[in-house]
Amino acid sequence: MSAAPPGWYPYGGGQGYWDGSRWTQALPPTPAPSPTPSYPPTSPLPTSPYDAPVTPAAAPYAAYPPPGSPYGSPYGQGHPAPYAVAPKTPALMLLASFFLPGLGSMLNGDTRRGVLILVSYLLSCVLTLVVIGIVGVFGFWVWGMVDAYQGAQRWNARHGILS
């Protein structure tokens, strides 16, 4: 009975190298990747000193989705995909400012403006004792709602979300 000659053979659901007397830890040769156009066009991303080098043992698991997939990642191996951004709901921000002027602006990330609206509203509430604050209370309340609604729309536009 003669042993099979050295070479690559089906082994364990993949390929293994038989050196003539035993199976080795060698990895099968990888075919050269076929040039596939990607959209959008990508440029090499800067590497970080924290990026771990890819070892040949990790190569079969490194490419997901599979090469040739129309959903390939333009970010390359070792780079995280971008995070998803939840849209701001303008009506919900308006409702928040309806109950507490400036709150919707603060929730949109315009903290300084939201605090200014809230403090001005509270100051106007105090000035209602001398009647002049009534106009301010109404004005800052409306300004808070309008700014919250428009601020949510601006935030969504900055992040490419239609609202």
Contact 90, 163 (CB under 8 A): yes
Tell me the per-residue pLDDT of 26-62, one tens digit each, with 9 for 90 and over: 666 676 666 665 555 555 555 555 555 545 544 444 4
Q: How confident is the model at residue 91 (pLDDT cuts 50, 70, 90)?
A: very high
Contact 81, 75 (CB under 8 A): yes
Question: Which residue matches tokens 């390939």?
Answer: 72
Structure tokens at 6: 């050295």
Is the pLDDT assigned to residue 132 strictly greater than 60?
yes
Is the pLDDT assigned to residue 102 strictly greater than 90?
yes
Contact 29, 59 (CB under 8 A): no
At 95 the pLDDT is: 93
Q: Which residues are within 8 A (CB) of 152 and not within 5 positions of it... i.e. 6 or more apart?
A: 88, 89, 90, 92, 93, 94, 104, 108, 163
At 63 the pLDDT is: 46
Q: What is the pTM of this model?
A: 0.49
